[in-house]
């Protein structure tokens, strides 16, 4: 049985969420005391944690930080009770998977969100065990990197599952019981790079290095890391120590570094986007993850795998498989977003299908990129940001580090208006 923890001072809201979920599938526990909730997180394994966060109360944000340190693999769903773009951006940067608005959430939306989060979590866990030919070879090679401590770069197109593989390498390593800290490099605040990495010398504001001590630091899309951060990380890896802001005494650096990239790092180094020293350090070991186009014979098997994940957690789902026409559509599509795009497509198809077989009309594909692969990746990042921001363009622009006019320009460029929220 799946376990959900809800943290909120509003007992009525906790009871409402608990009443909504399927009692045969989920065990719900709720608390309004930060210390008790924290102790439960340390002692128990939860599949989803719902945390009420308010700018007026620090305990919710503190608990989110605790969860991401104590149980980094657990999806955190934040509950807000008003529009607060700055708070939302902060939560997304910390690692919250999604959020709900307490004012408008209903039973149907909450149950579908919970089902999707659980299915995605299980898919990520089990995808690593997938037995397809090319992916099997990739996973077998990935296991060889688990015992190592040297930096590793996982490269491949956007959406192939690089972060999934990184987390599983961590789970297979001797550091599995320590922190796995994931950082999206494009969201790093250039103005506060030192504080983000090395901290301030105060336990109240630990940096990424301290949070990942004896664990693993995963930098997603390393090519987007600012030059100042590259220099600090290079020195920490090579010297084995770092200096928190405001302190003169060195602190030992002990974190396994795993990075990912969908871009040509060699070309980025030659163009000055990556420091040569940093480039040489992170490419000590590398692992290539194939695209779906290289595994075209396995696409239907992947799709059936995602359907089984969804139906396992939601018995009301009618869909069990695919018609022959749907299979042909699946195998002929370009899948520029790879596994991520396929999973989104299947999620939408399953919930729009009212029969045992998913047909071609239930499959809604992203239109193929009209320009180069760089534009395809840029487009996908904008789609993801818009989904996270619930189509709030101000929030999406902040997530992407763009101005609103720039975001509007790119939305027009890629033919986007609104993106279906995740």
Q: Poorest-confidence range of 48-52, 225-229, 236-240, 404-408? A: 404-408
Choice between 192 and 372, residue whose per-residue pLDDT is larger? 192
Final residue in a domain of this structure, among 288, 315, 343: 288
pLDDT for 376: 63
Residues 68 and 186 in one domain: no
Instruction: Please report whether residue 101 resides in a domain.
Output: yes
Q: Find the distance separating the first CA and the last CA of the chain, reported in whole Å.
A: 24
CA distances 102 to 4, 12, 16, 111, 217, Å, are 17, 11, 11, 14, 33
Q: pLDDT at residue 238 above 90?
A: yes
Mean pLDDT of the chain: 82
Q: Exposure of 68 by Cβ count < 10 A (0-12 exposed, 13-18 middle, 19+ buried)?
A: buried
pLDDT (mean) for 74-95? 79
Residues 21 and 151 in one domain: no
Choice between 369 and 56, residue whose per-residue pLDDT is larger? 56
pLDDT for 227: 94
Instruction: Please report whether residue 276 resides in a domain.
Output: yes
Q: pLDDT at residue 42 above 70?
A: no
CA distances 53 to 62, 269, 345, Å, are 9, 41, 31
pTM over the 0.95 mark? no
Tell me the percentage of the chain whose pLDDT exceeds 70: 86
Residues 17 and 101 in one domain: yes
Instruction: Please report whether residue 420 resides in a domain.
Output: no
Q: pLDDT at residue 371 above 50?
A: no
**Sign of the Cα pseudo-torsion (222, 227, 229, 235, in order):** positive
pLDDT for 271: 86
Residues 168 and 64 in one domain: no
Query: Distance (Å, rounded) from C-alpha 358 to C-alpha 221?
Result: 34
pLDDT (mean) for 352-371? 74
Residues 89 and 186 in one domain: no
Q: pLDDT at residue 86 above 90?
A: no
Residue with tokens 């922190």: 179
With left for phi above 0 and alpha for psi between -120 and 50, is residue 62 left, alpha or beta? Answer: alpha
Instruction: Please report whether residue 318 resides in a domain.
Output: no
Instruction: Please report whether residue 302 resides in a domain.
Output: no
Query: Distance (Å, rounded) from C-alpha 314 to C-alpha 336?
Result: 29
- Enter the tokens of residue 160: 């192939």
Residues 101 and 152 in one domain: no
Q: pLDDT at residue 369 above 50?
A: no
Instruction: Please report whether residue 348 resides in a domain.
Output: no
- Per DSSP bridges, beta strands 251-252 and 241-242 are antiparallel
**What CATH number does residue 381 fall under?**
1.10.10
Residues 272 and 382 in one domain: no
pLDDT for 131: 52
Instruction: Name the β-bridge partners of 101.
Output: 80
pLDDT for 287: 94
- Enter the tokens of residue 248: 């003169």
Choice between 318 and 275, residue whose per-residue pLDDT is larger? 275
Q: What are phi and psi of 372, to 5 degrees?
A: -90, 175
Residues 98 and 153 in one domain: no
Choice between 205 and 100, residue whose per-residue pLDDT is larger? 100
Residues 101 and 150 in one domain: no
pLDDT for 368: 43
Instruction: Please report whether residue 209 resides in a domain.
Output: yes
pLDDT for 64: 83
pLDDT for 69: 67
Domain span holding position 90: 2-105
Q: pLDDT at residue 147 above 50?
A: yes
Residue 247 pLDDT grade (very low, low, confident, very high; cuts 50, 70, 90): confident
Final residue in a domain of this structure, among 246, 266, 288: 288
pLDDT 10s digits, 381-406: 788 778 777 788 877 776 676 777 67
- Enter the tokens of residue 286: 């590398």
pLDDT for 72: 64
pLDDT 10s digits, 307-333: 887 777 677 788 889 999 999 999 999
**What CATH number does residue 218 fall under?**
3.40.50.300
**What CATH number does residue 82 fall under?**
3.40.50.2300
Residues 204 and 253 in one domain: yes
Residues 94 and 151 in one domain: no
Number of compact structural domains in the chain: 3
Choice between 55 and 145, residue whose per-residue pLDDT is larger? 145
Final residue in a domain of this structure, among 267, 288, 309: 288
Residues 182 and 284 in one domain: yes
Residue 186 pLDDT grade (very low, low, confident, very high; cuts 50, 70, 90): confident
Instruction: Name the β-bridge partners of 4.
Output: 28, 48
Residue 221 pLDDT grade (very low, low, confident, very high; cuts 50, 70, 90): very high
Instruction: Please report whether residue 353 resides in a domain.
Output: no
pLDDT for 246: 84
């Amino acid at each position: 049985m799946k376990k959900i923890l809800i943290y909120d001072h509003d007992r009525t809201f906790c009871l409402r969420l608990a009443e909504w979920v399927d009692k045969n599938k989920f065990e719900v526990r709720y608390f309004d005391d930060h210390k008790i909730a924290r102790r439960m997180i340390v002692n128990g394994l939860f599949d989803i944690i719902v945390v009420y966060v308010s700018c007026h109360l620090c305990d919710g944000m503190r608990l989110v930080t605790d969860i991401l340190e104590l149980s980094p693999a657990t999806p955190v769903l934040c509950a807000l009770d008003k529009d607060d773009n700055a708070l939302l951006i902060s939560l997304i940067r910390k690692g919250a998977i999604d959020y709900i608005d307490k004012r408008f959430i209903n039973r149907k939306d909450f149950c579908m969100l919970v089902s999707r989060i659980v299915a995605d979590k299980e898919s990520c866990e089990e995808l690593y065990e997938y037995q397809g030919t090319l992916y099997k070879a990739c996973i077998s090679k990935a296991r060889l990197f688990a015992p190592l401590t040297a930096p590793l770069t996982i490269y491949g197109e956007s959406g192939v599952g690089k972060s999934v593989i990184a987390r599983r390498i961590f789970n297979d390593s001797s550091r599995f019981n320590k922190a796995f800290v994931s950082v999206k490099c494009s969201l790093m605040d250039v103005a506060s790079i030192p504080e983000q990495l090395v901290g301030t010398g105060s336990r109240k504001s630990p940096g990424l290095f301290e949070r990942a001590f004896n664990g693993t630091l995963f930098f997603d899309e390393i090519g987007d890391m600012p030059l100042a951060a590259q220099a600090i990380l290079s020195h920490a890896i090579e010297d084995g120590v770092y200096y928190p802001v405001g302190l003169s005494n060195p602190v030992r650096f002990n974190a396994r570094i795993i990075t990912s990239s969908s871009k040509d790092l060699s070309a980025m180094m030659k163009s000055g986007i990556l420091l040569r020293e940093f480039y040489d350090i992170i490419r000590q070991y590398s692992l290539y993850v194939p695209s779906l186009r290289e595994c075209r014979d396995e696409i239907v098997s992947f799709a059936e795998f995602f359907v089984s994940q969804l139906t396992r957690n939601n018995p009301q789902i009618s869909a069990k498989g695919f018609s022959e026409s749907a299979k042909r559509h699946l195998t002929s599509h370009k899948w520029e977003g790879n596994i991520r795009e396929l999973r989104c497509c299947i999620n939408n198809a399953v919930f729009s299908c009212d029969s045992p077989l998913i047909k071609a009309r239930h499959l809604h594909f992203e239109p193929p990129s009209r320009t180069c692969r760089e534009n395809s990746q840029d487009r996908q990042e904008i789609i993801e940001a818009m989904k996270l921001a619930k189509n709030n363009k101000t929030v999406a622009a902040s997530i992407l580090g763009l101005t609103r006019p720039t975001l509007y320009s790119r939305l027009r460029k890629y033919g986007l208006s609104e993106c279906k929220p995740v």
